[in-house]
Amino acid sequence: MVKIPVRAERNYQVSIGVEWRSVISDISSRYTQILIIAPQSMKDLLSLDDDRTFFTADGESQKDIAEVVRVWDRLGELSIGRKGAIIAIGGGATTDLGGFVASTWLRGIDWFAIPTTLAGMVDAAIGGKTGINTSAGKNLVGSFYSPQSVDIDLTFLETLSDRDFAAGLAEVVKTGLIADTSILTLIENCNSLKEIRQISSELIAKSVAVKSGVVSSDFREGKVREILNFGHTFGHAVEKMSGYTLRHGEAVSIGTVYALYLSEELGELDPVVTERARGILTKIGLPTHSKEFEWDGLLGLMHGDKKAHSGSLRFIGLAGIEKPIWLESVPEAAARRAYERICR
């Protein structure tokens, strides 16, 4: 088992290679009251005790205030007190929801994350960002509220569809681009998604090490942590405009290529890096271009993004691999030119 520490408002560990049922038994022995939150679509797979499990809507639709109210009601019915705890088991949408509910119930109770998707294992469950969406955009309501632990059971990847596995790889590639080129090489050395699956544990350990290191140095996203948003400003806008029919990682893949084009447009990046990244994303089977989304809508959403400052466009770009940069006050004309290349 690999254990990686995270320093945040409390210190905790990410454990890679656990057996999830033992983790639940252990947590249950330490708390008098537990509510497990899991997606309805995993009900058969998990076969959990219905009395203490809240089954959520599937996918992004669970990150909604109506779903939060339903969980609050269930916590009330079960009279979960300050000494109770929540266990969120599922993909990134479920851990985002579970963490958010935990942060708001009785002004904060303990919670535990058991991520079951690759995106959850390498990204969403780590770092204490919890949240839900609003009609104005993604993750606009939320909290910084760390779990007590993140426990990764790699056997969950066996049932994960190729589509969801590939979507999770978008975050792995992002991590490689901003901070660890060895991740990119590992993927480049594989000839198929099947081969990439075989090196999952190595990719997860490397990605978690980067994320926990960045989060530990800047938990509340003063500045350094913003590098993890590489590809996400355009990606979130695309994801919202798709009506969440695109997986988060698919939108991030398009957003990654956009951020690279923008870095080129602003004279910071050698196009060779963009081509390398595009090659990796394409090999994984992720989208890198789309004509589907009109510019005005995307622009409006990007202006409303949490990372925008006083109405000006801001992005994380790259000056090279492992060299993230802050692109401040980006002129709309440059942003538009990068968009036009995404439409090709």
Question: Cα–Cα distance between 301 and 169 in angstroms, integer?
Answer: 25
Residue from 85, 99, 89 nearest 130 by CA: 99
* Beta bridge pairs of residue 2: 16
Using CB under 6 A, pick the residue from 84, 127, 287, 317 that binds ligand NAD.
127
In angstroms, what CA-CA distances link 155 with 47, 143, 184, 258?
A: 15, 30, 23, 33
CB within 8 A of 207, min separation 6: which ones? 122, 123, 171, 172, 175, 180, 183
Determine the interface stretch with ligand NAD among 10-18, 46-54, 153-161, 307-315 (rule: CB under 6 A).
153-161
Residues 232-291 that bind ligand NAD (CB under 6 A): 247-249
Give the x/- contact pattern for ligand NAD in 22-51, rule: CB under 6 A.
-----------------x-xx---------
Residue from 224, 219, 207, 73 nearest 143 by CA: 219
3-state secondary structure of 334: helix
In the Cβ-directed half-sphere of 123, how many Cα atoms lie within 13 Å? 25
Task: Provide the minimum distance between the beta carbon of 28 and ligand NAD in the complex, in angstroms, as a whole number.
Answer: 21
Q: Which candidate in 236, 247, 278, 314 is catalytic?
A: 236
Whether residue 211 lies in the annotated active site: yes
Q: Does 180 bind ligand NAD (CB under 6 A)?
A: no
Q: Which candidate in 129, 240, 247, 314 is catalytic?
A: 129
Whether residue 171 lies in the annotated active site: yes
Q: Does 221 bind ligand NAD (CB under 6 A)?
A: no
Using CB under 6 A, pick the residue from 27, 46, 53, 129 that binds ligand NAD.
129
Task: Provide the minimum distance between the beta carbon of 282 and ligand NAD in the complex, in angstroms, as a whole number.
Answer: 20
Whether residue 138 lies in the annotated active site: no
Total Cβ atoms within 10 A of residue 144: 17
Question: Phi, psi (5° rounding) for residue 283?
Answer: -60, -35
Tell me which residues touch ligand NAD (CB under 6 A): 39, 41-42, 58-60, 63, 90-94, 96, 116-117, 119-120, 123-124, 127, 129, 138-139, 156, 159-160, 164, 167, 247-249
Which active-site residues does the annotation give?
Answer: 107, 129, 171, 211, 221, 225, 229, 232, 236, 248
